[in-house]
Structure 1
Amino acid sequence: MNKLYIALNLIKLLNENRYVTSSIVAEEFEVSIRTAQRYLNEMTYLPGVCYDEENHRWYLTDKYGLQDSYLKSNELAILSGIFDYAESLLQSDYSDMLKKIKKKIITASNKENIVSFLKADTVDFDKIAPIFTELENSILNRQEIQFKYSKNDEIYRVRPYRLIYSDGFWYLVGAKEKDEIRKFGLDLISDIQPTGRTYDEVPKGIEEEIQGAKSIFFDPHKKIMVECLMQSDLAGFLKRKKFFPYQEIIEEKENGDIIFSFQAGSPLECVKLCLDWIPHIKIISPHVVRDYFVDMLDSAKELNK
């Protein structure tokens, strides 16, 4: 019997029985107990396969099951790229852990890396790992918490909703009283304490806003409709994908320029979204956002004289 046949049938046994022993495997494959043990020992490198030393049996971890499909080569390539990117974010021991997980999932391939995601410098994950774990548990248990925030030396009481990575930093997105959404840098949070109160779920509107956010400056309760002109040099990018939240193309001009609109939660978010497109973007309306954009550019120009 080849190894692939053995591996697939062992996983099938585990998936159907939740746990197996060497006796069960020996009977199933009509081999000796010693051979069955060797088969099972070789299986422990696979994700989700564990060995119970006390009861001498192998099992699949909770909430793990075999699906009726297998990863294709292009799916493995994407997954490999995602793992590499995640390693650059988590760093140190956490990066090593990801490498081990990647090796377990993408085991039989000797192919070169095909997919890569451009990496950015990130806050040292080792410094925020304990806070990350505490917040993760609070979110999973839907516990309201309070903590000290060193940015303004205040104590905040929030319902934690989501941990978000943006531009090299990790943030907690949570709600204060009356569902006021706030974002907090994890590296500035300390002394997390549960308040003893819980919450039901993330409000649907906030959940949708988090999923569709293009920057950490989003605000589900405030929306500014912005109309812009993108010069032909870069207009093609907007036709290919949406770079702005709720982006809609309004008009395509004969010279290739595009008039488009998007929505954002604050003038600051609007401006940050537009900065990457300088000098090919013009804010048409509203004037509040346009003036804020111009003032910021003037300040930068003055500073760099």
Structure 2
Amino acid sequence: MIGSKKHERLAYRLSDIIIRLNNGERLNIDTLTQDYQVCTRTLKRDFQERLAMLDFSDSGPVFYQLSPNRVGYLNLTEIKRFANFASVQDLLPKIDRQFFYDKLNQSIVIKGFDYENIQARTQEFNLINQAIRDCRIITFDYQKVRQQNSENSKKHYHLEPYHLLNKNGIWYVIGRHDAQTRNFCFTQISNLCVTDKTFDCDEQIKAGLINTDSLFFDNHINEIVLQVSAKVAGYFERRDLLPNQELIRKLDNGDLLLACRQVHPREVTPIVQYWLPHIKIISPSTVQEQMEKVLKSYVSM
């Protein structure tokens, strides 16, 4: 398994390469070795394996350039998604290049780089992905991890599947059940069946699901505002460490005011606790108070 920092460097390099190709540049592989401080062999693997599904007019061994009709074809969101997939191929079951290229369609989302191995369940993974594409209802039995030792704890579900999500290394199936959005851990699903029944995919709901970092789909708070100390502000400026993180403003002393929008408090407070004492929840004050109450109870044990 490749470390998360290596994944991040790889995803950044591929994103930058794709952006330059998308802008119409003709890239020289010898120059790129200096730009990215990697060897020629690594860059050849980038182009010949990770980016092989792109439509090149020049495809090496020295120069690479997109076909004129493909220049400007991808937007920044698609480039980021594409680069993330190209950098974490080991996350996915074995798939052919066309399937990999088709991942620009948003049926699968990856957030984070460490992962569980699901190679043994490739067929079920592919069945769910195909059901998402075909808008077909799936049925399955589901047992939560904490209930594995309980008898008769499995429940049967009918689900309208919207997308597959890898969040912090765990695969989830996200969909609609009884008019509510639910998430199911993929490895806890059994007796999967793709039915002949179809459903109308709500594109507005799907876009909302893909664009959120949240795994909770009810009891959301519209906005949680946090103040981050200047001592650790750089970490939060470098990349989003909080779900649905947005910068409100940077204070004169270097502190950050951040907002997490449409999130459940249970997704925010564990991260705040990790960064104590350098971060505080400003509003709602009840979330900060509840977190302090839990911490006091823990300390007094």
Q: Could you tell me the TM-score, scaled by structure 2's length?
A: 0.58
Other-structure match for 1:225: 223
Are 1:284 and 2:276 matched, yes or no? Answer: no
Residues 140-159 of structure 1: matches in 2 within 5 Å?
140-151=133-144, 152-159=153-160
Answering whether residue 125 of structure 2 is matched by residue 132 of structure 1, we say yes
Contact 2:165–2:173 (8 Å) recurs in 1: yes
Describe the SS at the equivalent of 1:228: strand
Q: What's 2:25 paired with? A: none
Cα separation, 2, equivalents of 1:79 and 1:202: 23
Q: What SS does the corresponding residue of 2:266 show, helix, strand or coil? A: helix
- Whether 1:259 aligns to 2:257 is yes
Whether the 8 Å CA contact 2:137–2:199 is kept in 1: the answer is yes
Do the aligned residues in 1 keep the contact of 2:131 with 2:161 (CA within 8 Å)?
Answer: yes
Contact 1:267/1:292 (8 A) holds in 2: no
Does the Cα contact within 8 Å between 1:144 and 1:198 map onto a contact in 2? yes
Q: Compute the TM-score of the two structures, normalised by the length of structure 1.
A: 0.57
Where structure 2 has 5 or more consecutive residues not aligned to the other structure, the ranges are 1-51, 55-66, 73-80, 102-111, 145-152
Distance 1:148 1:244, change over 3 A: same
Matches of residues 1-305 of structure 1 in structure 2 within 5 Å? 68-69=69-70, 83-87=86-90, 89-90=91-92, 94=94, 119-120=113-114, 122-151=115-144, 152-178=153-179, 180-204=180-204, 206-215=205-214, 217-219=215-217, 222-239=220-237, 242-298=240-296, 301=299
For residues 224 and 124 of structure 1, the distance between their equivalents in structure 2, rounded to whole angstroms, comes to 35
CA gap 1:227/1:162 in 2 versus in 1, 3 angstroms: same
Distance 1:277 1:194, change over 3 A: same
Call closer, same or farther: CA 1:247–1:128 in 2, change over 3 Å: same
Task: Tell me what 1:32 maps to.
Answer: none
Given the superposition, is the C-alpha separation of residues 82 and 266 from structure 1 closer, same or farther in structure 2, using an over 3 Å criterion?
closer
State the one-letter code of the partner of 1:137: Q
CA distances 1:202-239 after superposition (whole Å, capped 9, x unpaired): 340x2232232224x24277333111110001223444
> Is the 2:242–2:268 contact (alpha carbons within 8 Å) kept by the matching residues of 1?
no
How much does 1:276 deviate? 4.8
Higher relative contact order structure (alpha carbons within 8 Å, sequence separation ≥ 6): 2
Deviation at 1:270, TM superposition (A): 2.3
Q: What SS does the corresponding residue of 2:252 show, helix, strand or coil?
A: coil
Q: Which one-letter code corresponds to 2:226 in the other structure?
A: C
Question: How many pairs does the alignment contain?
Answer: 214
Deviation at 1:131? 1.9
Secondary structure of 1:284 counterpart: strand
The C-alpha deviation readout for 1:254-275, integer Å capped at 9, x for no partner, is 3222222221332212224434
Larger Rg: 1
CA distance in 2 between counterparts of 1:127 and 1:288 reads 45
Q: Which runs of 5+ in 1 are unaligned?
A: 1-45, 49-65, 72-77, 106-117
Cα RMSD, aligned residues only: 3.9
For 2:71 and 2:117, how far apart are their aligned partners in 1?
35
Tell me if the contact between 1:131 and 1:189 (Cα under 8 Å) persists in the aligned partners: no
Deviation track 1:269-305 (CA, whole Å, cap 9, x = no partner) reads 22244345333111122133223433454466567xx
- The percentage of counterpart residues that share the same residue type is 24
- Letter of the structure 1 residue corresponding to residue 287 of structure 2: V
